[in-house]
């Protein structure tokens, strides 16, 4: 039996109860939390290891529900001008010109930055397929979604055959570990053919363990393609795949529903352009939406319809997207951007978008995102500035945190420890 570790902290924000625990403790055994409470109620035994974090807010490790570590080094290098379709083409060209060693450097940089900013779980969309061994070894909890795009490919069947051969090899070699899982990400409903969507959907019937995510209804150009069969995306598809069945008078969400994809979809990313019918479909299929405030601002999107989603009980999580369309992999910054755009939403609710909600979306609602007995020990600590802390606004204080965290633990293992008092 592994030795028990006790963490002491000035405040523990469990995300399980409305008020923080003042002068609290967490007992950890192996990868699990086994006890949480107030320091004065703890019966100390000499065999226990103690780590006193002192003037610290201890909270669940943050979950980034959407990022692309491949593109960390693209920061500031893909200008947005001339519309979203052009930006996507620039990204595709840059990706093709990037060698594996550069992707690896980019991913390592992204892992380091994420960890420093308190992220303990990453959902990474992998185009290069280089992130899975790196994330697997990183000690971060990771969900790697392999990306599929067959736009510009003459045969969906041939594309899928090649993808599947690589994928089967990967599934054999990269079996799930306690901190690593694989998933699939058809890129968007307009860069993946209907035929490929169908082939992947059938494959998933025998691979229920694979999670799925898709970028949906991100831009006006995408909506124009589905609703009117017009616009820059439509023109591009006409050139690249003239034989594709082009949809009409539908929406990206309704199109995916008609393709039979919504019941299998776990994370729907962006959903900026949605109407009431779309929202009803998302709610009915229990799709978790991922919103990326930094990327949203980069592309100057219209208002994100959070209150409508909340009315439909659609859970929203936050992600950073890639640094090709964002400045930082800090989820603290994403929370602040969300708060600025939605000032009536409480700090506690915003914090749940990077803890409780993404944990539930990933099927880990009973294991991650909260500090309570039986849950995995993924924790972070934030230093409290000197002076009296106002415990009634602790979540607000968390959102106002800048810079690296002072403590980080994934699966019961310390990853980062600064300014310890003991």
Residues in the site for Zn ion, rule: CB under 5 A?
321
- For residue 67, the minimal CB distance to Zn ion (Å) is 8
- For residue 74, the minimal CB distance to Zn ion (Å) is 12
* Of residues 266 and 321, the one with the C-beta less far from Zn ion: 321
Contacts of 344 (CB under 8 A, 6+ apart): none
* Of residues 31 and 213, the one with the C-beta less far from Zn ion: 213
- For residue 81, the minimal CB distance to Zn ion (Å) is 19
351 vs 15, 127, 256, 317, 410, CA distance in Å?
8, 29, 30, 9, 19
* Of residues 124 and 321, the one with the C-beta less far from Zn ion: 321
- For residue 17, the minimal CB distance to Zn ion (Å) is 34
Strand partners, 26: 7, 36
- Rounded to whole angstroms, how far apart are CA atoms 258 and 307? 26
* Of residues 322 and 360, the one with the C-beta less far from Zn ion: 322
Residue sitting closest to Zn ion (CB): 321
- Rounded to whole angstroms, how far apart are CA atoms 74 and 326? 10
- Rounded to whole angstroms, how far apart are CA atoms 283 and 148? 25
> How do 413-417 and 379-383 pair as beta strands?
unpaired
Contact 361, 288 (CB under 8 A): yes
* Of residues 130 and 321, the one with the C-beta less far from Zn ion: 321
- For residue 321, the minimal CB distance to Zn ion (Å) is 5
Q: State the CB neighbour count (10 A cutoff) for residue 325.
A: 22
Phi-psi region of 139 (alpha: psi -120 to 50; beta: other; left: phi over 0): left
* Of residues 55 and 70, the one with the C-beta less far from Zn ion: 70
Contact 371, 36 (CB under 8 A): yes
- For residue 397, the minimal CB distance to Zn ion (Å) is 30
């Amino acid at each position: 039996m592994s030795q028990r570790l006790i963490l002491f902290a000035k405040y523990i924000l469990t995300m399980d109860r409305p008020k923080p625990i003042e002068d609290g403790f967490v007992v950890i055994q192996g990868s699990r939390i086994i006890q949480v409470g107030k320091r004065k109620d703890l019966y100390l035994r000499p065999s226990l290891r103690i780590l006193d974090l002192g003037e610290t807010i201890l909270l669940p490790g943050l979950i980034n529900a959407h990022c692309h570590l491949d593109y960390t080094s693209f920061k500031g290098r893909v200008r947005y001008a001339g519309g979203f379709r052009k930006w996507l083409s620039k990204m595709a060209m840059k990706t093709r010109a990037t060698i594996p060693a550069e992707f690896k450097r980019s991913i390592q940089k992204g892992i380091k930055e994420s960890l420093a900013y308190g992220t303990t779980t990453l959902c990474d969309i992998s185009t290069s397929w280089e992130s899975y061994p790196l994330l697997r070894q990183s000690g971060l909890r990771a969900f790697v979604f392999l990306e599929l795009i067959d736009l510009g490919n003459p045969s969906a069947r041939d594309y899928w055959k090649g993808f599947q051969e690589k994928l089967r090899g990967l599934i054999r070699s990269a079996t799930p570990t306690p901190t690593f899982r694989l998933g699939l990400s058809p890129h968007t409903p307009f860069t993946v053919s209907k035929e490929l969507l169908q082939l992947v959907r059938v494959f998933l019937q025998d691979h229920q363990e694979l999670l799925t995510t898709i970028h949906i209804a991100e831009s006006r150009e995408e909506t124009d393609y589905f609703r009117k069969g017009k616009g820059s995306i439509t023109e591009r598809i006409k050139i690249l795949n003239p034989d594709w069945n082009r949809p009409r008078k539908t929406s990206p969400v309704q199109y995916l529903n008609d393709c039979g994809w919504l019941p299998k979809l776990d994370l729907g990313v962006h959903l900026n352009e949605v109407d009431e019918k779309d929202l009803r479909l998302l709610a009915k299929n229990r799709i978790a939406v991922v919103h990326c405030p930094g990327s949203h601002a980069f592309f100057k999107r219209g208002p994100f319809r959070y209150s409508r989603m909340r009315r439909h009980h659609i859970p929203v999580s936050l992600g950073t997207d890639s640094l090709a369309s964002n400045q930082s992999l800090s989820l603290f910054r994403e929370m602040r951007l969300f708060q600025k755009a939605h000032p009536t939403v409480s700090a506690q609710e915003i914090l749940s978008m990077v803890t409780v909600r993404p944990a539930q979306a990933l099927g880990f609602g009973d294991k991650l995102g909260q500090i309570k007995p039986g849950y995995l020990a993924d924790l972070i600590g934030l230093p409290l500035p000197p002076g009296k802390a106002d415990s009634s606004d602790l979540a607000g204080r968390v959102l106002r945190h800048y810079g690296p965290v002072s403590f980080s633990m994934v699966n019961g293992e310390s990853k980062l420890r600064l300014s310890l008092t003991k």
